[in-house]
Structure 1
Amino acid sequence: MRFTMNRINERLLLKVEKYMLDNYMFQEGDKIVLGVSGGADSMSLLDIMLNFLEKYKLSLYVVHVNHGIRGLEADEDEQFVKDECDKYKVPCYTFKYDVEEYARDNKISSEEAGRELRYLSFRQIKDKVGASKIAVAHTSNDSAETILFNIIRGTGLTGIKGIMPVNGDIIRPILCMTCSEVYEYVEQGNLSYRTDITNFEEEYTRNKIRLNVLPYMEKNINSKVIEHIINLGELVRYTEDFMDRYAENIYSRVVLKKAFAESDEYLIDANLLKVEDPIIQQKVIRKVLYELIGRLKDITKVHIDSIIQLTDSQVGKKIELPYGVVCEKNYDYLSLYFSACKYKSFDDMGDLLYEEVQIGKEYYIDSIRKFISFELINYTPDMEIPKNDYTKWFDYDRIDGNLVLRTRKIGDVIKTREVGGTKKLKDLMIDMKIYRGMRDGIPVVAVDSNVLWLVGYRSSEGYKVSETTNRVLQMRVYSARDN
């Protein structure tokens, strides 16, 4: 240890050490960036990590962010952190911003602006020094405040999870400590710290919870209220993690992403989605929106519910969502895309797929994430012709020309009856109610403009296997795991 410990601090150090190890917060030899404001929480974090420095061969780098809000006091906080780091020979990096200006420019709250700039600074130094983790000084009180704050303003289960001990490269070593334990630690260890007076201004909801609501509940209702709120958050987190894993599996089954130069489009199989529990439907839709937009801010339960209601709506109905996103019902699919990115006609799309087929080879089709193989078989009448949608037999000797695996083109036709019955491929797709956003990605096997197989949907009647067939061309579509 860095210096002789009293029993209280030794107990708290052991508590934090166990918490960090249980949550796999670091490995021996790690470089860790510490966010240090100079307050009691962050000075406790710094002192605690210094105590583990030699034992775990850690390298520590302090980052202090001056928000430029509190004038001279903020500058004094910055100098205080520098002096403390000099005392313990810890590298210290400081940043100064005009948080209010940043908030105005980005149309966000001052609190949100401060958070964005802090983490921007932390990651800048993390990249500079090659660190693996960023440690911040949230306590269990902070987590309880967050849970109550989210409940009060309206939240789903995610908002009741509280603050995560580990979230990507962010670790929170003292999340197991209460605010009271932090002050015990600094007092018993004679640690200096700064006090931010804005933490005592009751105009902010969080401060009201911290200064009034939680203390009242602890004193007048249950002294273990924070512990119980944290336990609830942990239980919800375990439940959410399980449901997230399940929803991820459903997502892979019901969602198709189409990539275009301007943007992406996501297709959700409405029929498959509808059979899932409502909470799973919500999670799948939230994930689609996050993948498309890159954030979920301003996406509310009302938006999610509106999308779910579209699964039973008539074809062509649309709803507008934040960030210029549109959700549209198209036959059996919901399509989500940015309204500024209009559909391009398939003749403008270029060749999304084009392969001159060689018998005996297989090809990967990116749009459906599957392989297709072409195999020649000597046919006898006792053979059973496959009946599934992804294995088709064709009379090879009736094929006159070079086979091409591609996407649809203008002028494509397919024979729907052995005698006559030729139909434009575009008309067939409309008749089969194939959503327009999917049509350009469906593979086609053709000779010139004569389509043998619209893969997964319809094969031509012009190349049917009969009693006079000698050689069969088998086309089979499969995933890697099936082969």
Structure 2
Amino acid sequence: MLQKFQNHLNKNLPFLKGKKLLLAVSGGIDSMVLVELLHHLKFDISVAHCNFNLRGDESDGDTEFVKSTCEKYSIKFYVKHFETKEYANLHKLSIQVAARQLRYDWFNELLEKKGFDYLLTAHHLDDSVETFLINFTRGTGLEGLTGIPQQNEKIVRPLLIFTREDIEEYSKENNIEWREDSSNASDKYLRNKLRHKVIPILKELNPGFSDSFLQTLENLQQSESMVDDASRIVYHEVVQDSDNEKRINLSELMMLPNYQAYLYQWLKPFRFTAWKDIYDLVSAQSGRQVFSEEYRLLKDRDTLILAKKNELKLEVYPVYEDVENLNVPLKISVCNKSDFRLDDKRCIFADKDTLKFPLEFRKWEEGDYFYPFGMTGKKKLSKYFKDEKFSLIDKENTWLLCSDNEVVWVVGKRADRRFSVNETTRNIIKIELK
């Protein structure tokens, strides 16, 4: 195994050589074999150990065991004790999810503060099989069937080509000591049930199961790469990107025979789960929405609009004449008539003497109206939005600049003529978006 491991590093993970590596070590057989292998090959390694305080004296025994091993090999040792149950209850998480969040938050902290190049974990091929089966039973896309990735940014998993049997055999041959987590014997968790009951049957049915599974993963990963390539090409033809939103052209999308697959590829990074609702949105009435934790997908005529949830409160911000207004993206300056020009969308020129300071910067509300510059009469904001074909998200993101509750400017859109510069104006101010 040592020679195969070295060949694997040289061929597939050569960037680890000469780097400062942090190993996540529980004390179990997998992580202790990883320590032994890398120490034998003289890599620059340190060890990070988490004590989740879930198994009393057993957890403390794991900590002491890993610490003593590091002392024997003169390896730098980091340990963190967590109150996992309290954290899980506070954040309403399962123990497993809470432990994962806690350890990776700490690992990332160590990477940054101590200057490590990579975090190495001891996941192996059987872990990949278990992850594959868990995702398969719960329902997933192609990405859920490609196993645990060998590298994910700074996280590297160098044992993924080895089975649990490979690791156990190497441990016996080299008299490597390790600690058994008693919770691994319980079938309380789905992963353990698969490990104890399902995977042994698969290996019994096919003695070459591990090799077959590795080949299957490789095939699926290549297929996923092809899907990603196609998704990116079509994306640029169908989706219009801006800083705050993405607009999916439904006319272009519906010309694709497998449009649902493209929607899934484009929207999965935004953690949507109600995929049937999303697919139904294509033919739904305008105004229908589907939400994820942080985003919304809105049907607007012949477009799907993806944007962050609008979490701004309907607050009113004062805008002073001679004070920098930190809460609003506006700049006010005095100008001469020679500087005056017709308003554009990012700035207006106003007759200062018609304004009452402080002005107010606020979101629009039902019933608001204004006197659009260049038109006669007044117009309700709701009618203006309809005529300009504003989407629901456009309307929610519209701000007004008001003087004594009269609209001076639909910010970034249209000025009100009541405050505009004319031949009798004596004092001109320029109001612009920063």
Verify: 1:34 aligned to 2:23, yes or no. Answer: yes
Q: 1:102 to 1:250 in 2, by over 3 A?
A: farther
Q: 2:5 aligns with which of 5, 9, 16?
A: 16
CA offsets 1:351-407 (integer angstroms, 9 cap, x no match): 7899xxxxxxxxxxxxxxxxxxxxxxxxxxxxxxxxxxxxxxxxxxxxxx7355424
CA shift digits 1:24-57 (9 cap, x unpaired): 363432001001111110011001111222xxxx
Q: Could you tell me how far 1:327 is from its partner in structure 2?
A: 3.2
**Change beyond 3 A, Cα 1:235–1:270:** same
Q: 1:82-139: CA deviations, max 9, x gaps?
A: 1110111000011111222222112111111122222122222222220110000001
TM-score (norm 1): 0.66
CA distance in 1: counterparts of 2:156 and 2:123, whole angstroms? 9
Matches of 2:150 and 2:157, distance apart in 1: 5
Q: RMSD over aligned Cα, in angstroms?
A: 3.8
Q: Write the distance in 1 (CA, Å) between the matches of 2:182 and 2:76.
A: 27
Q: 1:236 is matched with which residue: 211, 215, 220?
A: 220
1:183 and 1:104 map into 2 onto residues whose CA distance is 36
- Supply the distance in 2 between the matched residues of 1:162 and 1:353 (Cα, whole angstroms): 53
CA contact (8 A) 2:203 2:209 kept: yes
Q: Which residue of 2 aligns with 1:402?
A: 341
Is 2:51 the counterpart of 1:76?
no
2:231 to 243, 247, 254: 247
- Deviation for aligned residue 1:241: 2.8
Q: Which residue of 2 aligns with 1:332?
A: 302
The alpha-carbon deviation at position 304 of structure 1 amounts to 2.4
CA positional deviation for 1:185: 0.8
CA deviation vs aligned residue, 1:225-279 (integer Å, no higher than 9, x gap): 23323322232222223323443454455143454xxxxx554333344334321
Counterpart position of 2:248 = 268
SS at match of 1:279: helix
Same amino acid, percent of matched pairs = 29
Q: Are 1:125 and 2:105 an aligned pair?
A: no
Q: How far is the alpha carbon of 1:283 from its aligned partner?
A: 1.2
Residue 49 (structure 1) aligns with:
38
Matches within 5 A, 1:386-397: none
Partner in structure 2 of residue 398 of structure 1:
none
Q: Secondary structure at the match of 2:99?
A: helix
1:25–1:271 distance in 2 versus 1, CA, 3 Å: farther
* Deviation at residue 80 of structure 1 after TM alignment: 0.7
The 2-side partners of 1:311 and 1:120 are apart by 39
Give the 3-state SS of the residue equivalent to 1:323 in structure 2. Answer: coil
Q: Which amino acid aligns with 2:391?
A: Y
- Report the AA paired with residue 154 of structure 1: G
Aligned residue for 2:293, secondary structure, equals helix
Q: Which moved more, 1:175-184 or 1:438-447?
A: 438-447
The answer on whether the counterparts of 1:351 and 1:406 sit within 8 Å (CA) in structure 2 is no
Counterpart contact for 1:68–1:98, Cα < 8 Å: yes
1:285·1:304 contact (CA, 8 Å) conserved in 2?
no
Per-residue CA deviation, residues 51-88 of structure 1 (Å, 9 max, x unaligned), is 222xxxx4211001111111111111111111110111
| Equivalent position SS for 1:62 | strand
- 1: CA distance between counterparts of 2:278 and 2:347? 30
Alignment partner of 1:318 out of 272, 276, 289: 289
Q: Are the counterparts in 2 of residues 243 and 280 from structure 1 also a CA contact under 8 Å?
A: no
Give the 3 Å change call, closer, same or farther, for CA 428–116 of structure 1 in structure 2.
closer
Match of 2:275 among 304, 309, 317: 304
CA contact (8 A) 2:130 2:194 kept: yes
Contact 1:412 1:424 in 2 (8 A): no
Q: 2:389 aligns with which of 409, 433, 451?
A: 433
Instruction: Please say which of residues 327-336 and 176-185 is displaced more in the overlay.
Output: 327-336
Corresponding residue for 1:459? none
Q: 1:285 to 1:273 in 2, by over 3 A?
A: farther
AA aligned to 2:226 is F
TM-score normalized by structure 2?
0.73
In the TM superposition, 1:120-159 aligns within 5 A as 120-159=105-144
Task: Describe the shift of the 1:352–1:27 C-alpha distance in structure 2 as closer, same or farther (beyond 3 A).
Answer: farther
Distance 1:191 1:324, change over 3 A: closer
Check 1:426–1:216 CA distance in 2 against 1; reply closer, same or farther (3 A cut).
closer
Counterpart residue number, 1:284: 266
Question: What's the secondary structure of 1:108's corresponding residue?
Answer: coil
Of 180, 192, 205, the residue aligned with 2:177 is 192
For the residue of structure 1 that corresponds to 2:17, the secondary structure is coil
Residues 407 and 271 of structure 1: is their aligned pair in 2 closer, same or farther, counting only changes over 3 Å? farther
Compared CA separation, residues 147 and 445, structure 1 to 2 (3 A): closer
Query: Structure 1 pair 309/407, CA: closer, same or farther in 2 (3 Å)?
Result: farther
Aligned length: 369
| Kept after mapping to 1: 8 A contact 2:282/2:304 | yes
Distance 1:309 1:353 in 2: 44
| Contact kept in structure 1, 2:287 and 2:392, CA below 8 Å | no
Separation in 2 of the partners of 1:94 and 1:254? 47
8 Å CA contact retained: 1:143, 1:230: no
Given the superposition, is the C-alpha separation of residues 445 and 120 from structure 1 closer, same or farther in structure 2, using an over 3 Å criterion?
closer
Unaligned runs of 5+ in 1: 1-11, 260-264, 291-295, 355-400, 450-483
Residues 286 and 353 of structure 1: CA distance in aligned 2, closer, same or farther (over 3 Å): farther
| 1:327 aligned counterpart, secondary structure | strand
Alpha-carbon distance in 1 for matches of 2:343, 2:160: 61
Give 1:216-227 correspondences, 5 Å limit: 216-219=201-204, 221-227=205-211
